[in-house]
Amino acid sequence: MAEFKLPELGENITQGTVTKVLVKISDAIQKGQNILELETDKAVLEVPSSIEGTVQEILVQSGAVVKVGQTILKIEGGGSSDVIASPKGEAIPERTTNSVEIASSPSAPRNDETVTKPDADQGSTASPLPNDARLTEAPQGNNPTPIATSTAPIPIRNDISAAPSVRLLARELGIDIALVPSSSPSGRISNDDVKAYCKMLNTARPAASGSAALSRPLPNFTKWGPVRREPMNNVRKKTAEHLSFSWTSIPHVTQFDKADITELEKFRKNITGTQTATKPKKISATPFIIKVLAAALKKFPQFNSSIDMSTQEIIFKNYINIGVAVDTDRGLLVPVLKNVDKMPVLQISDELSAMAERARLRKTTIEEMQGGCFTISNLGGIGGTSFTPIINWPEAAILGVSRGSMEPVYIDGNLVPRLMLPLSLSYDHRLIDGADAARFLRWVCEALQQPFLLEMNQ
């Protein structure tokens, strides 16, 4: 009997929540056939089998959290696989080309309706949020066991490059030395590595629950009326964790300004009008703002940078990728448009709508959500006069766009009605000074005021 274990799914992905099991016991399965639907940090992936044969046993269910290397199926007969464990059954699954492909193109065309959240009852028996007890019950996993709770015995490791004193320190701290990353090129684990790992576990723990600063106990809400508790889905968990980190680690300042987009609006409608393709396209203001931002980031490179406090360096990026916040039924996703400075506005518009559509259909891959330099969050479609967006770490700034409205503006001694777009720029004050932020936002506003210049620069 062969075991199919969850293969490597891509960089930094160690686990996922099963949203659907696509096979049944006694099903005959083929190599490459999808057997599992898995929700990882922000994408839903389909996991193909690397083994063929008959399913004898299914060891996971919808709603369960599975880790890379965990056994999913027991399969009888059929061809062997490159992912099968060694006869001892302890081998770590190899990184096969098959599994790497999953990560980069998870989306075989499929119907969105079948991607359902775990049922409430299944969710409660196998909550996707691993609590401490569960982690200690499963010491095999790739995930670090939180130190304070490691009552489970720490296994003996016979193949670790670490001095006896370092191994003893790890044991005393309740850390499995095999999980400690080495900072040395030879892979040797030092005392400092163990301490750093320990510190990381300690800080990651509260952050993982999305409440870095808030560890106070909640009141009993039922005193005031009935309540309902619902597990957070992965997107919510990730959002909570990520934004807590961004908010607590970056000193934010938000600068407000208004752009006169009366001319842009005329120009935009004009483009829409001249579309002669088979179906007329509507172009929103966002692609224009993205185009302006691309130019602004070139002019103000500190807005396209990241800060590295550990080395006291600033990292400037020579590429311009802009993340766009997309509202989906699962929560906020931020897919990234790559190299927007090299695209004309129409192409940005096309790619933007395709990307938003993929996000809503849950087909966005992890790769599509990585590599952003700057984020734009446009709430103008809903309303509001201004807001203070949170920077998408490790970026340096984010632009919030609210709803444009007609306002009386003094021009040449006259009050004239102009369409004014409120913009909110939150920036990392460690990297960017207030005056530069004001200049940057003013530059963006002025560029939006004169859309013709923009197209000419292109």
Residues that bind another protein (CB under 8 A): 153-154, 156-158, 160-164, 167-168, 171-172, 174, 186-189
DSSP sequence for 164-181: HHHHHHHHHHT--GGGPP
Q: Write down the catalytic residue from 242, 260, 373, 445.
A: 373
Between 164 and 219, name the residue whose CB sits nearer to another protein: 164
**Which of 31, 107, 94 has the alpha carbon at shortest distance from 68?**
94
d(CA 191, CA 182) in angstroms, rounded, equals 10
Shortest distance, position 62 Cβ to another protein, whole Å: 37
Between 162 and 292, name the residue whose CB sits nearer to another protein: 162
Between 146 and 174, name the residue whose CB sits nearer to another protein: 174
Residue 429 a catalytic site member: yes
Alpha-carbon distance values, 60 to 25, 39, 49, 184, 231 (Å): 12, 14, 14, 37, 19
Residue 242 a catalytic site member: no
Shortest distance, position 172 Cβ to another protein, whole Å: 5
Total residue length of the chain: 458
Shortest distance, position 199 Cβ to another protein, whole Å: 19
Between 28 and 173, name the residue whose CB sits nearer to another protein: 173
Residue 373 a catalytic site member: yes
Contact (CB, 8 A) for 81 and 96: no
Between 178 and 416, name the residue whose CB sits nearer to another protein: 178
Planar angle of CA 370, 375, 379, nearest 5 degrees:
125
Residue 344: other Cβ atoms inside 10 A: 12
Contact (CB, 8 A) for 409 and 418: yes
Orientation of helix 262-274 relative to helix 434-449, angle to 10°: 50
Shortest distance, position 90 Cβ to another protein, whole Å: 12
Shortest distance, position 153 Cβ to another protein, whole Å: 7
Q: Write down the catalytic residue from 119, 192, 308, 433.
A: 433
Which residues are annotated as catalytic? 373, 429, 433
